[in-house]
Structure 1
Amino acid sequence: MIEKLSLVWRNPQTRTWTPVACIEYKDNTYFFNYTNGAKDKNFVPFGQMNDLTKKYSSNELFPIFKNRLLSKSRPEYEDYLNWLDIQGEYNDFLELSRSRGIRATDELQLFPIPTKNGAGDYEVLFFSHGISHIAPGYVNRLESLQKNDSLLLLQDIQNEADPFALALRTKDDPVELLGYCPAFFAKDFNKLLDLNGKDYVHVYVQKVNLTAPLQLKLLCKLVTKWHNDFIPFDEEEFQPYL
């Protein structure tokens, strides 16, 4: 179950993404706190939550996040839940963790903070990113993919935008690129590759959505051992604001 989400903000000056807050759902209560990433001089706190040092709580989802849920009255709502692979297990956090809470009107996204799954392993679902940069044959390749097909990670070491970038490619011939892992996860995925070894980090097709918007077409799952030396998102910018 998803209990924590990291809120990342895109700096309008540098166009880089920075984690600025964390939202948690525990004991039927929502909690919100800023992280050290909010110290960026260009960042502006949200509405009445303007004390960077305070931990806020509410019995209801905070408005800034509630507004990122798709209205149940929308005609595409059932299709939307299907694209997100949400079936009978719905909760607000699950939707936000899959959809990333993206809105066209701002520069914010949400990502789940992974915890150990039932087997004690690291497991996270994510949609393939950067599909618009892939060759047009990408969509045709999707038609041949099935759930649980293995995908491979490809370290894009000469990527000028992100030295940690990890591309996704097919395992079976013909070999084709299928986008990228979200940059938000890339550092941790690279750490797990180093700690566990490349043969023990597995990526699978979770769901293919041929009729969905481009950013929701390929849902992937990464699974690997939760190494004793691994802590997710342990960089300073993710830590509570001090």
Structure 2
Amino acid sequence: MKTLFLAWQDPKSRAWLPIGRLTFDGTKYQFVYTQGALEAQSQHKFQLLYSFPNLNHVYRSIELFPLFSNRLMRRSRPDYKNYIECLNIPEGEDDPVAILSRSGGRKVTDNFEVFPCPEPDENGLYHIHFFAHGLRHLPVCAIEKIDQLEPSELLYLANEFQNPYDSRALLLCTKDHHIVGYCPRYIVDDVFKLKNKNPELVKVHVERVNPAPTPLQLRLLCNLTAEWQEEFQPFSSREYQPIVADTLAECVTD
């Protein structure tokens, strides 16, 4: 079972909230709203999605729902191969869930992002890929530094306590203290939990740097690994849990 979450950003407060969960069992897709949608409604005036008008309904389909399929590049496009290379997805593994997991499905026309529920890798470690966030807010010298990064280079996490929008924001920094982006908000809570248990085993490495004219949101691909403690559950906070009680109440991994 593969699991993706759908997050929405309030354009005013810039707060990110997980509002839905998409699962795929190899045959059918299922979408449900999560508790985060209730918070988004009550605190940020979130409007329910046109394709999913009922908070308490389980939506099922053998085809990927248009809200998600519209975030995929068509295979017929001449730049499709280059796009998959930018995402660093191995040849033959470019299925819709893999592409959405890696790309985030971000569009300039809305405030949504897709991200995967982390799974243990072949070594039993917490492992997730992500593109560095916030690059458009960085100075030109930071982008130049990103272009000089090498694959497998180690990056360091630093808590930006004085961030006016999020006191738990995590900076991505080089060994020589250059800021090269932010850790995505959706994994910050997990990272803090993992670092509290064993900070030395939480590692972020450069996976790939895509040069200009690649859009900034796809410029710096990173991967994060950490020790997966026996009792650990990713995305276990209430906002990630489905509203509908008879669906699976936690991230499912196979």
TM score, norm. by length of structure 2: 0.88
- Judge which range, 208-217 or 6-15, deviates more: 6-15
Number of aligned residue pairs: 238
SS in 2 for 1:137: helix
8 A contact 2:125–2:226 mirrored in 1: yes
Q: Aligned in 2, Cα 1:160/1:229: closer, same or farther, shift over 3 Å?
A: farther
The one-character-per-residue Cα deviations of 1:211-240 (angstroms, maximum 9, x if unpaired) are: 311111110011010022322111111101
The one-character-per-residue Cα deviations of 1:171-219 (angstroms, maximum 9, x if unpaired) are: 2x4x31111101111111111111122x111111100111311111110
* CA positional deviation for 1:103: 1.6
Q: Identify unmatched segments of 5+ residues in structure 1.
A: none
Query: Where does residue 86 of structure 2 map in the other structure?
Result: 83
Query: Where does residue 224 of structure 1 map in the other structure?
Result: 226
Does 2:130 correspond to 1:129?
no
The ranges of structure 1 where at least 4 consecutive aligned residues each deviate by more than 6 angstroms after the TM superposition are: none
SS in 1 for 2:19: strand
64, 67, 78: which one aligns with 1:64 = 67
Query: Where does residue 233 of structure 1 map in the other structure?
Result: 235
Q: Aligned in 2, Cα 1:14/1:134: closer, same or farther, shift over 3 Å?
A: closer
Q: Aligned in 2, Cα 1:11/1:134: closer, same or farther, shift over 3 Å?
A: closer
Q: CA RMSD in A?
A: 1.7
191, 196, 208: which one aligns with 1:189 = 191
Q: Identify unmatched segments of 5+ residues in structure 2.
A: 245-254
8 A contact 1:196–1:227 mirrored in 2: no
Alignment of 1:142-157 (within 5 A): 142-157=146-161
Query: Where does residue 4 of structure 1 map in the other structure?
Result: 3
Query: Where does residue 248 of structure 2 map in the other structure?
Result: none
- Judge which range, 34-43 or 232-241, deviates more: 34-43
39, 43, 47: which one aligns with 1:44 = 47
Quote the Cα distance in structure 1 between the aligned partners of 2:50 and 2:169: 34
Quote the Cα distance in structure 1 between the aligned partners of 2:95 and 2:205: 24
